[in-house]
Amino acid sequence: MRADAARNRIRLLEAAARLVAERGPEHLTMEAVATAASVGKGTVFRRFGDRNGLLMALLDHSERLHQESFLTGPPPLGPGAPAVRRLEAFGTATLRHLAAHRAVLLAAEPEACKRFEAPPRRLYLTHVTALLREAGSGGDAELLAHTLAGYLDVALLHHLTRQRGMPLDRLEAGWLDLVARVTRG
């Protein structure tokens, strides 16, 4: 990426982050970002494609950090711990990640038929499938991973915490119980 293009991207993302912090992601528009960054609206569309692309770019940094934590970070979340401990840590860390970025994640959520193809979700499924196999959980690890990943869904998290009033620590305890039941063998 050219230096001026990289600077423009950073300026656009900073403007978008400011707007989200001030008004919430539901009020984020390509035009508002262009105005806040002092560029033409076409520049924003060329850089990010659409509003969803812009929201995903905003999430990219935090998602990369989360992925690094479970792929290469220290145990128990990263390699070096038993598979069941890693699975437990992955779920609680992912619930916290979703809670911290809930508003932007919900705004960037792809339409229903595309949500299972989003790269972060595919990586989560691959990771959980591998941990289930390593833990010797038995059964169809891939289908079981999809079931477990359903628990780690931002829309479900929002429903349970905001609409049903459940605290995050209750969801974390539920994850640990679910992992224990699934990996009991």
DSSP 61-92: HHHHHHHHHHHTSSTTTSTTS-HHHHHHHHHH
Give span(s): CATH 1.10.357, the chain.
52-183
Residue ranges of the chain that CATH labels 1.10.10.60: 1-49
CATH class of 52-183: mainly alpha
Interatomic CA distance for residues 87 and 95, integer angstroms: 12
User: Could you report the average pLDDT of every consecutive run of 10 residues in the chain (185 residues)?
Assistant: 80 90 89 92 91 88 91 97 97 94 84 82 95 94 95 95 97 97 86
Q: What sign does the CA torsion over 96, 102, 108, 113 have?
A: positive
- pLDDT number for residue 185: 60
Q: What is the pLDDT of residue 109?
A: 79
For residue 76, cis peptide bond before it (omega within 30 degrees of 0): yes
d(CA 115, CA 82): 30
CA distance 32 to 12: 10
8 Å CB contact between 96 and 168: yes
CATH class of this structure's domain 1-49? mainly alpha
Helix, strand, coil % over all residues of the chain, rounded to 5: 80, 0, 20
Yes or no: say if 125 and 102 are a contact pair by the CB < 8 Å rule.
no
